Structure 1
């Protein structure tokens, strides 16, 4: 589990789980009504979005296989998925961003024994957090903001929306997967993430009404995840008017994931190169092809930190490639020279399957390709780079757009 918004899969479907949500009024005081601009997502569209999100996930966002299992379970249960553009929201609507946090830190035997003894288990902590915030605000949400674009992250956001009977927004708060809550478009836009709700698998529910410093969100919520192994979170209960304002959300990101996944599927069916098709669909760059030579991983305060190293093949024969990782790929070097950095996207793709690889899922000798994509323009702003530049993560590097490095 390697993402700050590592959505929590394996949700069970239980009768009555949405009762608390249905008792709440909408912003207009009436029952929740279907948005006329909602577009259904069938099994093929959902699979396309998941595959595409593995390309945009930059090594994070959770397991693609777990994402597929979650969506398959929901479809088998008869749940309906839909998506709406941000422009379809009314100004008085509210939407929010549900996601999960998972700790990578080892749990002591004493703490594990205490957790095992707790009987009040919650199978759906992300959904519990979503409903907690609705109750706190006294208003049903008109849609679900995707927390980030990564396989399990995306699947969980879509699943929660389907379970609650609301559409997913064709938007997220990043346009990719990221290590920290600080890489959050709503925060960069100057809008408070609060109130924030959290729920653990052990029946704990809480609301953070105010943060003395916005950066405290990461520390507070991750500490809850560490003592609980995981927790569900819902933040950014913004209005429709705020959601539609330029720079608040990364719009069209769910649609882009679907376009990339569709290109991969159609290329496979036609016997052509799916990775090249994905590159074209995302208007990206081929950074490298090769085999995995080595990798190393360690836990640092609940983050997966390490490096992936490749030996070149084809046009990149006799060259080397490496990426620096903090949950996601942040800095890429080819023959020691920087070729791409965050906030632009760096993704390693398995040549055999055509799927993006989620860290740390590598095998030595594995054949891979590396793609790069431009980030959303909001991350290239002064406020965006303040929390998403290489220097923010401790690299002694200034951000240079990928299109200037790939020449």
Structure 2
């Protein structure tokens, strides 16, 4: 499965002491690798964030199991995780968004032979891209912007920050997981994503200084991933002043993910309904309960495209539910009527585990609940809907806010 901010396997195997060897940003004192004003994230906080991100990831953002494995490996290696609010940045600080991009395209035998012959492969292309952009700008970044909120995407952002010895920003560029680079709050705010750093596992580093059109970022970076199988990317090297401007980032998204996860954890401990607790924590909507009756998947240009079909149970007995997927759930219909669309969030939750189900990991007969959440207000602006409405993805549908559809 390929995604806009894709999960690059093997991130956890790098030496856990790397963060301690890296020069920290000049801003603020640090104690034990924690920047002044940052909050330490312990194992419970990290687990809460991952569980919450499986709700906010809307079926995308990578495997929750792999995310847990990555964070556990980093904690065992002694890495320290921390979070800092956007408001804690100084105006002259600079932060950036590191993520990975992977390709599902088949590699020819000739290309594979050439790649296998390259010596000294890079274990951490995401980190290499981050450091290449720092060097290009001649400034250490004060924090890491989460690319999106989804389990492995979030874990890799947190891991990259911990490995580099800087805090993760309590903000991301979406507020959920998304298929494309074009669904990017910094871009929607009219701020260039450039310069962009990119690095491959084969020692290549690239700086994209300027884009003729902002939409070219998706094409250029994905083409690098295709010829390299994957590439690390760091974009949006914005200043603290820009980060604090309303609409530049989705703020407090890491806190929201933690709140959802904690609600799930507390409800399980109390013997109450964890999915309902998560719904309340994020002020969401119960859209459906039932079992998975069918699903279809296909790879189209590196995207996972398909549908998930549910048969109703409980209050929804006798009803049907279908979601259309492009990596994430984009459009949901209940008994044929549209009940939610992007950019609002549509999440399918496993009833037994109370974890969000990541596409395409469904099983027929699986008991699930479907929750819907309101998107960040920036996606309901004209600029946001231009790149994140049903019509952008080819549906003959106008966006209607979820609160109106469920009413």
| TM-score higher than 0.5 | yes
Aligned equivalent of 1:309: 309
| Residues 3-402 of structure 1: pairs in structure 2 closer than 5 A | 3-11=3-11, 12-14=13-15, 17=18, 22=23, 26=26, 35-402=35-402
* Distance of aligned partners of 1:342 and 1:246 in 2 relative to their CA distance in 1, 3 Å threshold: same
* Distance of aligned partners of 1:271 and 1:291 in 2 relative to their CA distance in 1, 3 Å threshold: same
TM-score relative to the length of structure 2? 0.96
* Distance of aligned partners of 1:240 and 1:258 in 2 relative to their CA distance in 1, 3 Å threshold: same
Shift of 1:352: 1.1
* Distance of aligned partners of 1:19 and 1:5 in 2 relative to their CA distance in 1, 3 Å threshold: same
Determine the C-alpha separation between the residues in 2 that align with 1:52 and 1:18.
26
Q: Please give the secondary structure, in 2, of the residue aligned with 1:104.
A: coil
Kept after mapping to 2: 8 A contact 1:308/1:324: yes
Q: Deviations over 1:9-54 (max 9, x none)?
A: 42223388569952x97479x9999543211000000000000000
TM-score relative to the length of structure 1? 0.96
Determine the C-alpha separation between the residues in 2 that align with 1:62 and 1:131.
24
Number of equivalent positions? 405
Q: Deviations over 1:252-278 (max 9, x none)?
A: 000000000000011111111111111
Q: Which range moves more in the overlay, 51-60 or 105-114?
A: 105-114
Unaligned runs of 5+ in 1: none
Shift of 1:370: 0.6
* Distance of aligned partners of 1:27 and 1:278 in 2 relative to their CA distance in 1, 3 Å threshold: closer
Q: Which range moves more in the overlay, 5-14 or 388-397?
A: 5-14
* Distance of aligned partners of 1:379 and 1:149 in 2 relative to their CA distance in 1, 3 Å threshold: same
* Distance of aligned partners of 1:187 and 1:228 in 2 relative to their CA distance in 1, 3 Å threshold: same
Deviation >6 Å, runs of 4+? 30-33
Q: Please give the secondary structure, in 2, of the residue aligned with 1:186.
A: helix
Kept after mapping to 2: 8 A contact 1:288/1:369: yes
Q: Which range moves more in the overlay, 248-257 or 99-108?
A: 99-108
State the superposition RMSD in angstroms.
1.9
* Distance of aligned partners of 1:27 and 1:47 in 2 relative to their CA distance in 1, 3 Å threshold: closer
Shift of 1:300: 1.1
Aligned equivalent of 1:406: 406
Kept after mapping to 2: 8 A contact 1:2/1:61: no
Q: Which range moves more in the overlay, 166-175 or 5-14?
A: 5-14
